[in-house]
Chains A and B, each alone.
Chain A
Amino acid sequence: MQFCTFFLGKDLFGVPVLEVQEVVRQQQITQVPLAHHVVRGLINLRGNIVSTIDMRRLLKMAPLEDESQSITVITRVAGGLVSLLVDQIGDVIEAPEDRFEPVPGTLGLEFRHIIAKVCKLPENLLMILNPERLVEFDRVKLPAGDSLARAD
């Protein structure tokens, strides 16, 4: 199976390549007041209006100081398209089935919610995203005191 990969800091993530429509430079984003914190806003993708999800915010990572190199990965989810705002795009990687492992329980809950499995690559680890989960950010109900419940 092939995965389109991208970086958030040093972490490497992958989305099944068939679920990725295209990768585009960061567009002008129109903010949506009152929307969930994770939604950065809307972009115009050749006439389609697509919501942009800030992956760093989704994973509770510190914001990037210089976003000029950020890039968006347009991904298909059940309800249509979403665009994922990431730091940097990686290669398309062929990940063999026998290298997959389940997500370790020690990983933060916000990670565990969207990551389906982990792939052991020779150099590093690739976290495979479950695209459907990406837009379920408002459904995550966490017990008080958990990392996601922290006010940000």
Chain B
Amino acid sequence: MKEDLQSQLISELVIESLEGLDAFDHEILDLERGGVSPDSWNNAFRIIHTIKGSSGCIGFNEVELVAHAGESLLTVLRDGRMTPDAAVFSNLLRYSDALREMMRSIEEKGNEGDADHTQLVRDIQALHSGITGTGKPGNQKQSFGFFDDEAETPVGFAGEAGPESPGSSRNTVDKASEKESSAVRVSESIAPKLSSDSAIRVDVSQIDRLMNLVGELVLARNQIVQSADQQADPAHFAAVQRINLITSELQESVMKTRMHPIGNVWAKFPRIIRDLCHELGKEVSLAMEGSETELDRTIIEAIKDPMTHIIRNAIDHGIETPEERRTAGKLAQGRLNLRAFHEGGQVNIEISDDGNGIDAERVLQKAIQRGLVTAEQGSRMSHREMLALIFLPGLSTAEKVTNVSGRGVGMDVVRTNIEKIGGNVDLYSEPGKGATIRIKIPLTLAIIPALVVTCCGDRYAIPAASLVELVRIEGDQIAKAIEHIHDAQVYRLRGNLLPIVHLAKELELKPSGHADDALFLIVLQAEGRQFGLAVDGINDTEEIVVKPLGKEMKGLTVYAGATIMGDGKVALILDVMGLARRASLLDEGDRQTRSRKALEEAARSAHSQAQGEMRSLLVAHVGRNRIAIPLSCIARLEEISADKIESAGKIEVIQYRGRIMTVLRLSAVLGIESARRTADPGDDPELLALVVCALETENVGVIVDSIEDIVEASIQIEIREGQRGILGSAIVQQRVTDLLDIKELARMAA
């Protein structure tokens, strides 16, 4: 029982102290920036005083000792007997770090840790030794004397401050302003300073449970409201109406309890920025706007690290040194703006700096250098697309890796983390003028807007965050609109090929055999790629409450959870990223490196160099497929008689210009049924269309069904995997055409 009390006291001490120290940092930073308010010194002093008192009371003497050293310095500063310089501020922050560390150690290990703080204490004492000099021992004694009672009743402090600063003529003024300031501070402060009479601490799980119950109440309410419409009794109807209203209000209120102002996260940034600036020799002023914007606590947690990363990046790589800035005609002090605001049911967070900006060309060069895109792809990119490359894994434009950022873990992690919570990141930049990163995130993760679709008789919810658009294809047009690239289905959405994923097929469901009167395509976006999800029907958009699945189903990445629909039935929530992975639309791990290598190779190889730009292509037919071969690697087009083909080992060859040339029948290599009938033995030997392709060392003959045309076209290849010998597909002359990978073919022939 006694131990319970002790551990409860300790945990309260730790929570209060950590909160207090955050506020302390805030005050010190304010003062360092030139704030002259004595309130700030008072607040800082009071925080430390409370920590000293409480920890001394519980018996953490080391904390008490260290806290005391700072307290003495703060007394001097508060009374205006000393003008603080940079060293004072640095040491005060060092000092708060030391206290914070001890508190963490108390929380985790139950003791104050074994760090040695004598040097710190000495440094702090040295700062004000000239001023307090003889007065110090007395001070110490007095303060020790009174905090023992003080710890129990911190409220009484203002009145007892007298002995702490004997002889100060400003004493009475201090007392008054202190009281006043504490009232003002609480309301305007960003940091979560909970004053004990207006706020209580509640376990988060308690609130989650409340949230759950309210969700249930909402469902029950919906059912009652529905049945009430059939009731004639007006009194009953009125009661139902009231329940209806109260439930809505209750839901909203409970939602609010989970909300935190975003300022809670931001409160840590001034300190981070200050330390960074000192380390890098830069000057940055921080402006925050909209810190009262509220977000669900889970989201607050999730954006903390990405935001810190962005800010570090902005200061390290974005904002220049004061000299550079002056040369560029800017103010020596850089500016960093944080802005948060609601827009369309989402929260926008903007982080902008007025630094050097991001050079889109350099980003592109880097991406090409790393083989993330090809030069041809790059040449077609818009400014914005180039900037967006910065979100690719493995790309950092920082010329030098610093201690602070640029170590490879970069913006891709930021994007992944933001997308994980259903948000997205955008980047705008003007070279020389600065950069802005805009994050859009949902208000809450617990309740999300979703599109409800039907597939094989069951309903599935798709988070609206990944939704791009809906396409409905009428029954008689399906056959025409859906094109096939080998066995993959694609749909041409405004000129771009959209891969189609059938939900029923991915979920291994048996199609319910419905009449094919219309096909619904839901265009979804996952990690920057789009695909069309084919479903049986689209129901409605709904706000759904996300609930996790049990551990029996944790291996199923295609689901993000489940929800309860208005009729009380359970519906699964699809995880768009997981679904795309399952359908092999997104690259993963080694697949990613492989395809990247393939891309690099494609870029280098003269033969398969078929990306972008105006390009001459030979278009041929094999079966139902259109095949394009880059003209640059074609030596000649021939027509040969089928009986000229001879065998060498297992492969077919012909004699061509005095040499033996390997012959590949494209239909056989690609597994496509040839449109040509097989010649009857009695017939005249048929004539075959032979494309002689020049490879580095030899020529290879490729037999196609027919040669259609030579075209000049600017094409965009959609890289595909899984089909050896085909690089990808593109639209050539408004038709889907497979692009042959000659090198791969040669390898297959060997």
Bound form: Cα–Cα A44–B568 in Å: 7
Q: Give the complex CA separation of A42 and B564 in angstroms.
A: 10
Which residues of B lie under 8 Å from residue A47 when comparing CB positions?
A: 212-213, 215-216, 219, 564
- A49's partner among B507, B547, B551, B556 (CB-CB below 8 A) is B547
Partner of A34, one of B558, B562, B569: B558
Q: How far is the CB of B722 from chain A (nearest CB, A)?
A: 21
Task: Give the docked Cα–Cα distance between A90 and B215 (Å).
Answer: 34
Smallest beta-carbon distance B573→chain A, Å:
11
A interface footprint on B543-557 (CB within 8 Å = 1, 0 otherwise)? 000010111110110
The docked-state distance in angstroms from the alpha carbon of A36 to that of B508 is 13
Q: Is there an interface contact between A53 and B215, defined as CB atoms closer than 8 Å?
A: no
Residues in A whose Cβ lies below 8 Å from that of B216: 46-47
Which of chain B's residues have a CB closer than 8 A to the CB of A72? none
A39 touches B553 (CB 8 A): yes
List residues of A (19-43) whose CB comes within 8 Å of B's CBs.
Answer: 28, 30-36, 39, 41-43
Q: A34-B556, A34-B558 are in contact. Are A51 and B507 (CB under 8 A)?
A: no
Q: Cβ of A79 < 8 Å from any Cβ of B?
A: yes
- Is there a chain B Cβ closer than 8 Å to A116's Cβ? no
Report the bound CA distance from A137 to B549 in whole Å.
Answer: 16
Q: Which among B458, B508, B547 is the interface contact of A30 at CB below 8 angstroms?
A: B458
In the complex, B491 has a CB within 8 A of chain A: no
A82 to B550, CA, bound (A): 8
Most central of B509, B550, B551 by chain A CB within 10 Å: B550
Known A30-B571, A33-B507, A33-B509; judge A44-B552 contact (CB<8 A). Answer: no
Within 8 Å of chain B (Cβ to Cβ): is A98?
no
Instruction: Please tell me if the beta carbons of B547 and A32 are within 8 angstroms of each other in the complex.
Output: no
Complex contact B552–A42 (CB within 8 A):
no
Chain B's interface size range is 20 to 34
Chain A: minimal CB distance from B554 (Å): 9
A135 and B570: CB pair below 8 A?
Answer: no
* A78 vs chain B, min Cβ distance (A): 8
Whether a CB of chain A sits under 8 angstroms from the CB of B147 is no
Q: Which A residue's beta carbon lies closest to that of B567?
A: A28
Give A53 to B508 CA distance when docked, in angstroms: 20
Q: Is A138 an interface residue (CB 8 A)?
A: yes
CA distance A36 to B551 in the complex (A): 12
A80 within 8 A of partner (CB): yes
Min Cβ gap A113→B in Å is 15
Q: A34-B556, A36-B552 are in contact. List 8 more A-B contacts (CB 8 A).
A: A32-B556, A41-B570, A44-B569, A48-B547, A49-B564, A51-B549, A80-B551, A138-B555
Can you report 21 residue pairs joining A to B where beta carbons are below 8 Å apart? A31-B458, A33-B507, A35-B552, A36-B553, A39-B553, A43-B570, A47-B212, A47-B216, A47-B219, A47-B564, A48-B547, A49-B547, A49-B550, A49-B562, A49-B570, A51-B553, A80-B550, A82-B552, A137-B552, A138-B552, A138-B555
B-contacting residues of A (Cβ < 8 Å)? 28, 30-36, 39, 41-44, 46-51, 53, 79-82, 135, 137-138
